[in-house]
Amino acid sequence: MRLGVLDIGSNTGHLLVVDAHDGAAPLPAYSYKEPLRLAEHLDEDGAISDEGVDALAQFTGQAQRVAEDKGCEEMLAFATSAVRDAVNSHELLDEVSTRTGQVITVLPGEDEARLTFLAVRRWFGWSSGRLAVFDIGGGSLEIAAGTAEAPDVAWSLPLGAARLARDHLSGDRDEDTIRALRKKIRAEIAHDAGNLLRSGRPDHAVATSKTFRSLARICGAAPAGEGMLVPRMLPLEEMNDWIPKLAAMSEKELRDLPGVSPSRTHQILPGALVAVAVMEIFDLPELEICPWALREGVILERIDAISRATNGR
C-alpha cells in the first residue's frame, strides 16, 4: 500500500510518501518538506505564535494535496518536541484540524525514542546485538537501548539543537557561554545515563537524523549522493577537534561546510556539543549513522499492525 507519513518536527515539516509491504523495506516514492522552524516560533510564555500556526496549517494543507496527488491510501501524521512542549499544543492542533481536516497526533518523547530504535534495529538487524540509539532533533535528544526490537530503556531530553541555539546561543558565542552550555548538556545527559550503562557497553552505537548526518559529513563521511548503503561514521576524536573551529566560524563559513543546510547553520555548534557529550558520557569512540529514523519507525509499526490484523494475530 502507499502511505503518506507527515512528520511535524521542531525544524521541518516533512511528508514522506512510501510504498509499504509486509516483509519488505519501505520504498520511498516522494518527499515534500518545508522549514517550519516551530521551535523558534515560541513566544516568551512557551506558546507557538500565530505565525507558526499559520505556517503549520499551510504546510499541512499542501502536504494533503501532495499525498492525494501521489495516490496515498492513508496518512500517518504526527508531531514531536516543538508541538509537544508548546503550552498551546491542543489549541494549535485543533486549529490545524479545523482548517485542513487533518488530525495530527503528538508523539510522547519515549515513543519517539522507541520508534526510532525500531527503525534502527530493522536496518542493522540482530547482528548488532545490544543496540544503543541516539537522535538529536530540533527540540529534543532521544536515547534508547536494548537487545530486542523494542528497547529496554527509552527516554527523551530537552536538548535539541534548535532549542539550545535559541535559548543559549542567540547572542555572543564567547568561551564562557559555550562552557556553560556544555556543562548544562552534560549534566542533563549524565543524570539518567545509568539507564543505559547498567546493562553494560552496547555492542553497536548508532546515531540518526539530520544533525548527526551533518556532523558526520563535516568529519568526512560520504555525501548523500553516494546512496544509503554506504557506511558513515561520526568519530569522537574528530568531532572534538571541530568544536572550537565551529565556535569561531561565521554564519557564512558554517553555511559553506559540507552537509550543512543554510537554515540550520546556527544549530551546528549546539548539535556538536550534544554529540560529543553523548559519546564521552557513554564511552563511545564513534557512532554509526543510520539512514532510517523516526518516520521509518512509524511506517514499520503501521505495517506490522496491518499484518497482524490481516493474519488474525
pLDDT at 234 > cutoff 60: yes
Q: What is the pLDDT of residue 149?
A: 96
Does any domain span residue 304? no
Check which CATH number belongs to the domain holding 275 and give it. Answer: 3.30.420.150
Q: What is the mean pLDDT of the chain?
A: 94
pLDDT at 158: 95
- 217 and 270 in one domain? yes
| Mean pLDDT along residues 151-158 | 97
Question: 40 and 72 in one domain?
Answer: yes
In a domain, 276, yes or no: yes
Give a yes or no: residue 172 inside a domain.
yes
Claim to verify: residue 279 and residue 166 sit in the same structural domain: yes
Domain of residue 227 covers: 109-294
Based on the fold, state whether residues 177 and 272 are members of the same structural domain: yes
**Any idea what the Cα angle at residue 264 is, between residues 112 and 248, rounded to 5°?**
125
| Domain annotation covers residue 245 | yes
Question: Does the pLDDT of residue 281 top 90, yes or no?
Answer: yes
Query: Does residue 302 lie in a domain region?
Result: no
Question: Cell numbers of 295, please?
Answer: 518516520
Q: What is the pLDDT of residue 38?
A: 87
113 falls within a domain? yes
Same domain? For 194 and 282 the reply is yes
Compute how many other C-beta atoms are within 10 angstroms of the C-beta atom of residue 223: 11
- Co-location of 42 and 133 in the same domain: no
Q: Please write down the HEC assignment for all residues of 192-224.
A: CCHHHHCCCCCCEEEEEHHHHHHHHHHCCCCCH
Look at residue 41 and tell me whether its pLDDT is greater than 90: no
Residue with cell 496518512: 75
Q: Are 123 and 257 contained in the same domain?
A: yes
In this structure, the answer to whether residues 154 and 271 fall within a common structural domain is yes
* Same-domain pairing of 185 and 251: yes
Domain termination site, one of 80, 107, 134? 107
- The gap from C-alpha 8 to its chain's centroid, in whole angstroms, comes to 11
If pLDDT is split at 50, 70 and 90, which confidence band does 136 have?
very high
Q: Kindly state whether residues 116 and 255 are assigned to the same domain.
A: yes
Name the pLDDT band for 312 (thresholds 50, 70, 90). low
Residues 289 and 153 in one domain: yes
Position 248 scores a pLDDT of 94
Domain endpoint, select from 90, 107, 124: 107
- Arithmetic mean of pLDDT, 239-264: 94
Helix pair angle (268-281, 175-191), 10° resolution: 40
Share of the chain above pLDDT 90, in %: 86
Is residue 306 one of the residues assigned to a domain? no
Give the contacts of 33 (CB within 8 A, at least 6 positions apart).
12, 13, 14, 15
**pLDDT for 15:** 97
Tell me: do 103 and 116 sit in the same domain.
no
Position 313 confidence tier, pLDDT thresholds 50, 70, 90: low
Listed residues 107, 133, 150: the one ending a domain:
107
Any domain includes 310 = no
Choose among 121, 26, 127, 41: nearest CA to 87: 41
59-75: average pLDDT:
97
Q: How many domains would you assign to the chain?
A: 2
